[in-house]
């Protein structure tokens, strides 16, 4: 691995040069990653932002770091289906709650979030891991349910329900598959 730094004051053209070097090095058969230091804070992955520009230029991964934030974004040449349990294993230890957005087919206990105006179907009737429904339109649920209904517009109420039911959310990693 070869590592080169680009230094200069804000507005000197560092990001533009790095953005242009990525495809130039890739044309020569190199895989390129970028580490970006943000002195204060940063806004990531929106058009025009440094991390987005580096990814769009073809960086395999972009690491952005500031005194308050660190983000690692990786691009895959083929689509990769990430397993939520593997991702949980990559988190830094010492947190009390991990809020997992998406992964609706996972074995994790979950709260279904449903808005009538989204026009989307519900998942709770066929999913035994849904423990409650957070909605802003309980009267419009398309299927009757005995599940607790939480006010989607009241995060304090949802947090209180989570704390009251914390034991139902204790995480135990799945047992490794037995080797034959």
pTM over 0.85, yes/no? no
Q: How far apart are the first and last CA of the chain?
A: 39
- At 1-26, the pLDDT tens digits run 888 888 877 878 898 999 999 999 99
| Coil/strand/helix, residue 71 | strand
pLDDT exceeds 90 at position 28: yes
């Amino acid at each position: 691995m070869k590592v080169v730094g680009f230094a200069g004051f804000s507005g000197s053209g560092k990001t533009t040069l790095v953005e242009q070097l990525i495809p130039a090095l890739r044309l020569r058969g190199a895989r390129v990653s970028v580490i970006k230091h943000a002195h204060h804070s940063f806004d990531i992955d929106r058009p025009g932002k440094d991390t987005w520009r580096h990814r769009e230029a073809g960086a395999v991964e972009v690491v952005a770091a500031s005194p308050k934030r660190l983000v690692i974004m990786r691009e895959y040449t083929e689509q990769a289906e990430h397993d939520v349990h593997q991702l949980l294993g990559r988190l830094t230890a010492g947190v009390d709650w991990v809020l997992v957005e998406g992964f609706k087919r996972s074995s994790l206990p979950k709260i279904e979030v449903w808005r009538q105006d989204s026009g989307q179907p519900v998942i709770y009737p066929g999913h035994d891991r849904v423990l409650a429904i957070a909605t802003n339109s309980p009267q419009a649920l398309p299927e009757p349910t005995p599940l607790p209904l939480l006010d989607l517009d009241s995060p304090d109420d949802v947090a209180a329900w989570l704390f009251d039911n914390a034991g139902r959310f204790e995480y135990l990693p799945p047992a490794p598959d037995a080797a034959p």
